[in-house]
Amino acid sequence: MKSARGVRPATGKVAPPAIEAAGLGWTYAGRSQPAIEGLTFRLEAGRVLLVLGPSGSGKSTLARALAGLVPHVLPGRWQGGLRVGELEVAQTPARLLGERVGLVFQDADSQLVMSRVDDEVAFGLENRGWPLSAMESRVPVALGDAGLAGFEARQTPTLSGGEKQRLAIADVLAALPGLLILDEPTANLDPPGMHAVFEQLEVLARRREHTIVLIEHRLEAALRLADEVLLIDDEGHQLAFAPARAVGREAIELLERCGAWVPRAWQEAGAPEPAAAGRRSVEAGTVLLEAVGVRIAYPDDECGQHVALDGVSVSVRAGERIALVGPNGAGKSSLLLAMAGLLRPSAGTVRLRALPRKGEAAGPMRDPARLRADEIAARIGLVFQDPELGFVARTARDEVAASARVMSGRDRSADAGHDHGADGVLAHFGLGHLASDDPFRLSQGEQRRLSLAALALRPPAILLLDEPTFGLDRRGTEAVLRLLEERRTAGQAQILATHDPRLLPACDRVVALDRGRAVFDGSPDAFLAAPPYDPAGPWRAGVAAGVASGRATPQDVTAAREPGAG
């Protein structure tokens, strides 16, 4: 039997390795441009490296290279050298690297394999041939290290987003990696989830048992942990490699250009708060959409039914922007679907102002669920969290023209006009060069902009958005907000379901949901001053942390890292 090498002592910790890159470059098969090029740096053992760069700059490629997925699993062309400890990545079998390196991805749902928590943690150990007794003692320890002690028998689908991401961290910690790589681990999390993950990372970083490479947009929380910072530009070239303490004024400019969320206190005095730029008071437009006493209950096998919404009333006027906030599972998405007529409430009503007939000033209020698809498409647009799922065409140009085609029916003579209009829209949304590209091949930020562009030729009176800034860096967020602002000044009513406290100042009103009930309806300032949640609850702590990273003065960080002080 050749299994002898599979047995290894459970206590055999791998010492944290140093990382040394010398002119590292990688070009994916089928691409002409390298994803990363000429990266040269040395990270000492047991230190924390923060990798910063705009979306699509090759940060994930560096993570994959460190884990050996590049060049051993994914095809492409390798340049230069990369050493993890004494191992040269390009010459080391992926299996050997895999024993020393743990990689945590952005989307927790597509990295968990098993349905029970302890099976999930053991999966990586089984793959590496650990003996049973070692696994039995290691699994609970790894869960404890990730802040999930006692979760062994839980079913993974029942975990919250933050818990799932910490489980993914437990998975890689279990195998005792010397090098821990986290690729935007909080990009898809709500504030409480993000907070919990960062707390856990801080504990790990302080122990100095791992070399950690962290890829993250949220500078405020991430810089606190980092020893060194690596900056990468749009083309995957290295801009800087410097101690985190030395991040000075010129570095901040670089960071801003990279699309990172730079803490407010670091910015030049008087620089506009990006989210607040378009804020203004509401003029009393007509009510375009209202929900009154809406109750939504899903059938649930365990306890009869799950009440997603219970007596919620909201109305939105022309030219008004409402932020819909609340913890995961509060009912935000259900409310959006109900207001778009896609979910029928079991009690209460939803009314949408239909197009006025000739000679009338305002149209009648109608039930959106009873409208034909083309009628409702003319009034309401909904941008889903995952814009990909809403695409209907094979090119970006057709995607934009599709909505206009619905209106002109089967009249093919209008097509050329639509295509011409679509090109103009794409140029305006900064997507002009991608007109003939497949919508599914665009980056996350480009897809989000395309989903907004698709509504532009025939803008709906009401726009509903589910997490419009999920996974976007600051540049992406600003681009989306700018486009929303243009529409709003033209009188569009907008409702944004969001976890992102940085968007609140750009809204006229905040409606907060908690466990299916509306618990707040008022100005963003009043909301931020006193979030209407259980003060001991994690959501409020998360809001506080999120607000701090975008708006408030982060005393503890600036004290240590005054701009230019390093």
Partner 1 sequence: MSVLPTPLRPTRPAFLTRTTPVARLVAGMTWLLASIVTLDPMVPVRLSVAALVALWLWSGLPLRRIPGRLAPLGFAILSLTVFSILLSSANGDRTLATVAQFGPARITGPAISAGLAIGLRVVVIALTTLLVFGPSDPTRMADSLVEQWHLPDRFAYGTLAALRVAPFMAGDWATIGAARRLRGLQPRGPVARVRESGGRLLVMLISAIRRAERLALAMDARGFDSGVRRTHFRVLRTTWRDWLTIAVACAVAAAALELPH
For partner 1, the binding residues in 33-72 under the rule CB under 8 A are 67, 69
Which of 12, 75, 269, 372 touches partner 1 (CB under 8 A)?
Answer: 372
145 binds partner 1 (CB under 8 A): no
Chain centre distance of CA 68: 25
* Span from 127-135, 211-219, 350-358, 504-512 in contact with partner 1 (CB under 8 A): 127-135
Q: Yes or no: say if 323 and 500 are a contact pair by the CB < 8 Å rule.
A: no
Which positions from 1 through 30 interact with partner 1, judged by CB under 8 A? 1-3, 5-6
Q: Which residue has the tokens 């005095």?
A: 269
* Minimum CB–partner distance for residue 362 and partner 1 (Å): 23
Binding pattern to partner 1, positions 172-201, x when CB under 8 A?
A: x--x--------------------------
Q: How far is the CB of 346 from partner 1 (least distance, A)?
A: 15
- Considering only 13-21, 44-52, 80-88, 293-301, which stretch makes contact with partner 1 by CB under 8 A? 293-301
Residue 4 or residue 269: which is nearer to partner 1 going by CB? 4
Spatial contact of 538 and 241, defined as CB atoms under 8 Å apart: no
Angle at 174 between CA 108 and CA 153, to 5 degrees: 70
- Contact between 97 and 272 (Cβ < 8 Å): no
In the window 336-355, what residues touch partner 1 (CB under 8 A)?
337, 340, 342
Taking CB under 8 A as the criterion, the residue among 37, 145, 163, 171 binding partner 1 is 171
* Positions 432 through 471 that interact with partner 1 (CB under 8 A): 440, 454
In this structure, which amino acid lies at residue 158?
Answer: T
Helix and strand element counts for the chain (H, E): 18, 20
Q: Which of 15, 31, 88, 298 binds partner 1 (CB under 8 A)?
A: 298
Could you tell me if 506 and 278 are in contact, meaning their C-beta atoms sit under 8 angstroms apart?
A: yes
**Min separation Cβ 478 and partner 1, Å:** 25
Residue pointed to by tokens 């103009």: 424
Q: In this structure, are residues 118 and 55 in contact, taking their beta carbons and an 8 Å threshold? A: no
Q: How far is the CB of 278 from partner 1 (least distance, A)?
A: 25
- Which span (31-39, 134-142, 210-218, 278-286) binds partner 1, by CB under 8 A? 134-142
**How far is the C-alpha of 415 from the C-alpha of 397, rounded, in Å?**
11
Residue 261 is classified by DSSP as: B
Q: How far is the CB of 133 from partner 1 (least distance, A)?
A: 10
Q: Please report how close the Cβ of residue 545 comes to partner 1 at its closest, in angstroms.
A: 27
Residue from 16, 54, 84, 130 touching partner 1 (CB under 8 A): that is: 130
The stretches of 432-565 forming alpha helices (DSSP H) are 444-453, 474-489, 524-529, 538-550, 555-560
Instruction: Please give the single-letter amino acid code of residue 349.
Output: T
Q: Whose Cβ is closer to partner 1: residue 239's or residue 464's? A: 464
Q: Name the one range near partner 1 by CB under 8 A: 50-58, 257-265, 335-343, 424-432.
A: 335-343
Question: What residues between 315 and 334 interact with partner 1 by CB under 8 A?
Answer: 333-334
Instruction: Give how many residues touch partner 1 by CB under 8 A.
Output: 76
The residue (of 121 and 547) whose beta carbon lies closer to partner 1 is 121
Q: CA–CA separation, 245 vs 208, rounded Å?
A: 18
Beta-bridge partners for 27: 77
What x/- string results for residues 83 through 122 when contact with partner 1 is judged by CB under 8 A?
-----------xx--xx---x-x-x-xxxxxxxx-xx--x
Cβ closer to partner 1: 300 or 367? 300
Binding region for partner 1 (CB under 8 A) out of 135-143, 192-200, 207-215, 545-553: 135-143
Secondary structure letter of residue 74 according to DSSP: S
Question: What's the rounded Cα separation, in Å, for the pair 117 and 158?
Answer: 10
Task: For 175-212, give one letter per residue: b (16+ CB within 10 A) or e.
Answer: bbbbbbbbbbbbbbbbbbbbbbbbebbeebbeeebbbb
CA trace torsion 427, 429, 433, 438 (10° rounding): -130
Q: Of 23, 42, 77, 126, which one interacts with partner 1 (CB under 8 A)? A: 126
Which residue number, 251 or 338, has a Cβ lying nearer to partner 1? 338
Contacts of 207 (CB under 8 A, 6+ apart): none
Residue pair 160/36 in contact by the 8 Å Cβ criterion: no
By CB under 8 A, the residues from 229 to 268 that bind partner 1 are none
Residue 36: what are its φ and ψ, rounded to 5°?
-135, 155
Among residues 542, 480, 539, which one has the least CA distance to residue 506? 480
Give the nearest distance from C-beta 337 to partner 1 in angstroms. Answer: 7
Q: Are 542 and 554 in contact (CB under 8 A)?
A: no
Tell me the window of 130-138, 264-272, 428-436, 517-525 that interacts with partner 1 (CB under 8 A): 130-138
3-state secondary structure 18-39: CEEEEEEEEEECCCCCCCEEEE
Q: Which of residues 385-414 bind partner 1 (CB under 8 A)?
A: 386, 388-392, 402-403, 406-407
Query: For residues 150-169, which are near partner 1 according to CB under 8 A?
Result: 157
